[in-house]
With several copies, the nearest count.
Chain A
Amino acid sequence: MPIEDLLLSGVNLMILGMGIVFTFLLVLVFAMKGMSKLALMVSERQGTVEAHSAQAMAAGNQAQTGIRGDLIAVISAAVNQYRSTHH
């Protein structure tokens, strides 16, 4: 079809397209805000439960982050070496 018509379709597509992109992501903004509110409510309601699991998680993270960085470095290197040699 003639280029002019193509361009017309293009303009059409641009207007609609950017319109949808913005609508979609704008709605998503509010969806996420609602989501976060909901999450807050939920976690408050089962506060106790959360607390426990939170502690548990914290503990878990402790166990991980507790390891001194250099040890991890050494071990990582070793693991690398181990892999490159044993595989």
Chain B
Amino acid sequence: MVEIGIEPLWLSTGIANLEWGQVLMMGVGGVLIYLAVVRKFEPLLLLPIGFGAILSNIPLAGIGGSDGLLGHIYHVGIETGVFPLLIFMGVGALTDFGALIAMPWTLLLGAAAQFGIFVTLLGALALNFVPGFDFTLADASAIAIIGGADGPTAIFLASRLAPDLLGAIAVAAYSYMALVPIIQPPIMRWLTTETERNVVMQQLRHVTKLEKVMFPFAVLLLCVIFLPSAAPLIGMLTFGNLLRESGVVERLSHAAQNEIINIVTIFLGLAVGSKLSADKFLTLDTLGILALGAFAFCIGTATGLLMGKIMYRVTGGKVNPLIGAAGVSAVPMAARVVNKVGLETNHHNFLLMHAMGPNVAGVIGSAVAAGILLAMVGG
């Protein structure tokens, strides 16, 4: 007869099988959920990630395993790179590039802010001098992209270059994106002068519908010519944006902005959370990644601001350097921070719209950087 007694019963309980690592990781998941719910840190991603971490660390259940729910979702959506690309399509459908089209030069601010990525790459490699660290060039590249301050880009690149670090990288990326309001302001005040922060920028010119429809093609064209390795990201971003601006496929644009991105966000978050296992996350690497991530954000913010100061000089004081800080992307948080800091010095100086230009430019910039890393390192 089937053996049914106290012994197997006890062995089927959680306490009898719970390992310390799992307890700790559930704690980590709990912290992420706390940050999401109470501190409002990127709740759309951190809540599912946190819950996924808890579920996948439940002993015996094997929810994160290859036969478990989250294992299936991870296999279908992240190993293939499908989920981050669909999110990017949604981002494109949700983003109005008008501000950028009105001020093309702000693209350079989005470019400068990517410096944080590459400095971090060096930092990650340098960390190998510290005993216990052994990052490959691929690992370092995946870590560096955290500086791109763009979640889907980071997840996409990590799934390609360093799947083992994906959990830590995703958590770092979204956490720091949420911390932008705390990380950036000091740097902004420190690197800019009162006069610079006071600059009131002229109002943006009107952008025609036609320009908005042509924009995605312009971006995609350059991507095809110079950097095909960035085509999956740039391609889906521009596709989503075309759905939005073409004005003839309202149904599809609505689906990309709502159903698809919402459904995928739930699954992406849970699947990323399933990578938060003790053996992968409770390592020295994770500490290094968290440190490097913060470092990357600071550098990116700084270089964006410096480019802003250059444009301030060149334009004879027409550009407020603060908007350079929005170049790290982290849309729209970074732009809001710029607006806030701007208002501190001048109560009537609303920089939000001007900051949206470099802000969305940063999205393109980090997608380009990701393409370069894929082409040079991923090959």
**Contacts A17-B369, A25-B368; is A32 near B215 (CB within 8 Å)?**
yes
Contact of A13 among B118, B219, B361 (CB under 8 A): B118
Q: How many A-B residue pairs have CB under 8 A?
A: 131
CB distance from B276 to the nearest CB of A (A): 25
Q: 1/0 per residue A20-58: CB within 8 Å of B?
A: 111111111101110110111011000000000000010
The reply to whether A14 and B121 contact each other, CB–CB distance below 8 Å, is yes
CB distance from B366 to the nearest CB of A (A): 9
The reply to whether B1 and A9 contact each other, CB–CB distance below 8 Å, is yes
The reply to whether B376 and A29 contact each other, CB–CB distance below 8 Å, is no
User: Counting CB contacts under 8 A, is A73 at the interface?
Assistant: no
B223 to A, closest residue via Cβ: A24
Q: Which residues of B contact A22 (CB under 8 A)?
A: 108, 111
User: Counting CB contacts under 8 A, is A87 at the interface?
Assistant: yes
The reply to whether B365 and A36 contact each other, CB–CB distance below 8 Å, is no
User: Counting CB contacts under 8 A, is A12 at the interface?
Assistant: yes
**Contacts A38-B214, A39-B208; is A18 near B221 (CB within 8 Å)?**
no
CB distance from A45 to the nearest CB of B (A): 12
Q: Which residues of B contact A20 (CB under 8 A)?
A: 9, 226-227, 368, 372
Instruction: Report the separation of the CA atoms of residues A32 and B357 in the bound assembly, to the nearest whole angstrom.
Output: 13
A29 to B, closest residue via Cβ: B104
The reply to whether B221 and A31 contact each other, CB–CB distance below 8 Å, is yes
**Contacts A8-B1, A25-B364; is A39 near B128 (CB within 8 Å)?**
no
Interface stretch, picked from B76-84, B251-259, B286-294, B336-344, is B251-259
The reply to whether B114 and A16 contact each other, CB–CB distance below 8 Å, is no
**Contacts A16-B4, A36-B101; is A28 near B137 (CB within 8 Å)?**
no
CB distance from B264 to the nearest CB of A (A): 15
Q: 1/0 per residue B266-287: CB within 8 Å of A?
A: 0000000000000000000000
The reply to whether B365 and A11 contact each other, CB–CB distance below 8 Å, is no
Contact of B118 among A7, A14, A29 (CB under 8 A): A14
The reply to whether B377 and A13 contact each other, CB–CB distance below 8 Å, is yes
The reply to whether B121 and A10 contact each other, CB–CB distance below 8 Å, is yes
Contact of B218 among A1, A35, A57 (CB under 8 A): A35
User: Counting CB contacts under 8 A, is A3 at the interface?
Assistant: yes
B210 to A, closest residue via Cβ: A39
The reply to whether A6 and B129 contact each other, CB–CB distance below 8 Å, is no
The reply to whether A87 and B251 contact each other, CB–CB distance below 8 Å, is yes
Instruction: Report the separation of the CA atoms of residues A8 and B105 in the bound assembly, to the nearest whole angstrom.
Output: 32
B6 to A, closest residue via Cβ: A16
User: Counting CB contacts under 8 A, is A5 at the interface?
Assistant: yes
User: Counting CB contacts under 8 A, is B322 at the interface?
Assistant: no
CB distance from B88 to the nearest CB of A (A): 17
The reply to whether A21 and B369 contact each other, CB–CB distance below 8 Å, is yes
Give the A-binding residues of B (Cβ under 8 A): 1-2, 4-5, 9, 100-101, 104-105, 107-108, 110-111, 114-115, 117-119, 121-122, 125-126, 128-129, 137, 140-141, 208-211, 214-215, 218-219, 221-222, 226-227, 251, 254, 257-258, 361, 364-365, 368-369, 372-373, 376-377
A/B interface sample: 6 pairs, CB < 8 A: A13-B373, A17-B114, A24-B227, A32-B107, A38-B214, A39-B211
Besides A3-B125, A9-B125, 4 other A-B contacts (C-beta < 8 A): A26-B107, A28-B219, A29-B104, A36-B101
